[in-house]
Copies of this chain bind each other. A is one copy, B any other.
Amino acid sequence: MRGEQELGIVNSKDENPGDWYAEVVKKSEIADYSPVGGFIIVRPRGIALWESIRFYLDSWFRETGVENAYFPVLIPEKYLEREKEIIEGFDPEVAWVTHGGEQELGEKLAVRPTSESIIAPFMSRWVRSHRDLPLRLNQWCSVVRWEATETKPFFRTKEFLWQEGHTVHKNKEDAWEETMQRLDQYERLYQEILAIPVLKGEKPEHDKFPGAETTSTVEALMPDGKSVQGGTSHYLGTTFSEAFEIEYVDENEENQIAHTTSWGLSWRAIGALIMTHSDDQGLVLPPTVAPEQIVIVPIWRSDTKQEVMRYARDIQENLSEYRVRLDDRDGKNPGFKFNEWELKGVPIRIEIGPKEVKNKTATLVHRPDGERHLIEVNGIGQTIGEHLEKIYDKLYQRALENLQGKIHEVKNEEELIEKLTTNGGYAKAPWCGAETCDERVKEKISASIVMIPPKTEGEMEKGEECAVCGGVAKEIVYFAKKY
């Protein structure tokens, strides 16, 4: 029997977060599993979230000189091989196309895992003079990486939607500025649109994107204490421009080697969004990206239906500047509607009954915590705007408190392990710079260095010892378990 009892979430976010997450994603109609392991079907409520993310990021990219382009979904093996030869550590697991129709192909084609190897040769053609720089391209597309892991919608999928930006600059200074500008835009997306505070930093040497001089990252802490890499921006130095001959003639008619960057953010952001805010009643969404910001639920008996409905429609019209839905379904009672819209994460519910009609008021309920207000219908547009902002702040504050309460300064391995296994979050620890120390922590508790904070956060004290091996510490790093 399909029925109303199936609507609610049965798993608990605290007790079994994995099952809870899968259940929320499915029951709130965000996504479904595909018949092929590792692939998902993204339903309209899920794609609406991605389209919001795309809308904001794309407009910021445009304002800062980025142009969209489109490169082929299939990349010849020799292009990837060339990148493998040149770029140490580049060896992606990809899906290989070997046949076209009935025919075996002369050369295997990879379904794009990322597009540096096909974009760089074209950038080399298009860049001739300093006047062609900076060259900033971006594409919104899907990529496939054949990593054998359990499927977790948006976090771990073989195919995902993302944007990949690729830029060429005259020198290190310009390319570095670009790298940081994109990282700042990712931070802005999380903090101003998704209501998720993030930490900015760099990946350690041994965990950089292959070929990058620096991989910078925004990290978001989930309520279960694990860190999500929310987006990365790479300063590639001259690695790719040397390999693919991206050169230009400068103002003095001299040949120069260019510097490049790449940066990407995927639908994992949707995963972080759901994981951060949602609860045991289902999805919770910030008003910025919610497909509906407000749902109006009329409450009537047959003798009051007409006046309640007329009043509800008036309110709907007064709120036309927002994404508002009037749930006028006849076959469902108000309680059912409350549950359904809570499950689907609509930030504000407006309840309207005969009393509200009589008093020219409306009852307004905040999704995240059930906070209720009886408001005047006069000026309701402005009032609602204030409440939407309040809800956004509430979500952001809650996430910020989670983050702030889970950054633990630790001095030795015992503390590090104790904090990360009992509290989760970040262990802020001095580190000697050796990959072996990172490996050791990973083997013991599946946590690793997720980020090195910017030096502007303060100098390390002199004489500090690596929390893992006790050797001379070189810098402060953040260890965490991660998605």
Bound-state CA distance A335–B458 (Å) is 57
**Docked pose: A34 CA to B2 CA in angstroms:** 50
| Smallest beta-carbon distance A310→chain B, Å | 24
Q: Which residues of B contact A73 (CB under 8 A)?
A: 73, 111, 142, 144, 159
For chain A, residues 41 to 69, give those with C-beta under 8 angstroms from any C-beta of chain B: 41-44, 46-48, 50-51, 67-69
Interface centre among A70, A118, A137 (most CB of B within 10 A): A70
Contact A331 B131 (CB under 8 A): yes
Proximity bits, A110-150, B CB within 8 Å = 1, else 0? 01000000100110000010010000010001101010100
Q: Which of A24-46 contact B (CB under 8 A)?
A: 32, 34-36, 39-44, 46
Asked if A379 lies at the interface with its beta carbon under 8 angstroms from chain B, I say: no
A463 within 8 A of B: no
Comparing A96-104, A181-189, A190-198, A206-214, the segment that makes contact with chain B is A96-104
A70 & B95 in contact (Cβ 8 Å cutoff): no
- Output the least CB separation between A119 and chain B (Å): 9
Known: A99-B96, A131-B331. A74 touches B144 (CB 8 A): yes
- Is residue A354 contacting chain B, with contact meaning CB distance below 8 A? no
In angstroms, Cα B94 to Cα A71, docked, is: 19
Given A36-B74, A94-B101, A109-B36, A68 and B51 touching (CB < 8 A)? yes
| Cβ-defined contact, A159 with B72, below 8 A | yes
Specify which chain B residues have a CB less than 8 angstroms from the CB of A155 in the assembled complex: none
Copies held by the complex: 2
A94→B103 CA distance, assembly (Å): 10
Question: In the assembled complex, how far is the CB of residue A77 from the closest CB belonging to chain B, in whole angstroms?
Answer: 11
Query: Which residues does chain B contribute within 8 Å of A96, judged by CB atoms?
Result: 97-100
Interface size on A, residues (CB 8 A): 54
Of B44, B111, B142, which one neighbours A67 at CB under 8 angstroms?
B44
Residues of B within 8 A of A71 (CB): 34, 41-42
- A322 sits at the interface (CB 8 A): no
In the complex the two chains form, what is the Cα distance from A16 to B383 in whole Å? 65
Is residue A199 contacting chain B, with contact meaning CB distance below 8 A?
no
Q: Do A95 and B109 form a contact, CB below 8 Å, given A35-B79, A36-B76?
A: yes
Chain B residues with CB below 8 A from A122, complex form: 32, 41
- A47: B residues at CB distance < 8 A: 67-70
**A369 near B: Cβ within 8 Å?**
no
> Whole-angstrom distance between the alpha carbons of A70 and B48 in the complex?
10
Chain B CB count within 10 A is highest, among A36, A46, A158, for A36
**Minimum CB–CB distance for A474 against chain B, Å:** 35
Which chain B residue lies CB-closest to A51?
A: B68
Question: What residue of chain B has the Cβ atom nearest to residue A58's Cβ?
Answer: B51
- Report Cα–Cα, A122/B44, bound state, in Å: 13
CB of B111 within 8 A of CB of A97, answer yes
Q: Which residue of B lies closest to A161 (CB)?
A: B70
Contact of B36 with A159 in the complex, beta carbons under 8 Å: no
Q: How far is the CB of A91 from chain B (nearest CB, A)?
A: 10
With a cutoff of 8 Å between Cβ atoms, the chain B residues found around residue A118 in the complex are: 34-35
A108 to B99, CA, bound (A): 10
A88 contacts B by Cβ under 8 Å? no
B109 and A99 form a contact (CB under 8 A): no
Q: Does A250 contact B (CB under 8 A)?
A: no
Residues of B within 8 A of A67 (CB): 44, 47-48
Contact: B72 with A41, CB < 8 Å? yes
CB of A19 closer than 8 Å to a CB of B: no
10 pairs of residues in contact across A and B, judged by CB atoms under 8 Å: A35-B76, A35-B79, A35-B121, A39-B72, A42-B71, A74-B159, A93-B100, A96-B98, A100-B158, A101-B146
Besides A41-B70, A73-B142, 15 more A-B contacts (Cβ < 8 Å) are A34-B71, A36-B76, A41-B72, A44-B69, A46-B69, A48-B67, A51-B68, A72-B159, A73-B159, A74-B159, A94-B100, A97-B98, A97-B111, A98-B98, A100-B146
Sorted nearest first, the 4 A-B pairs with minimum C-beta distance are: A44-B67, A93-B101, A100-B146, A39-B72
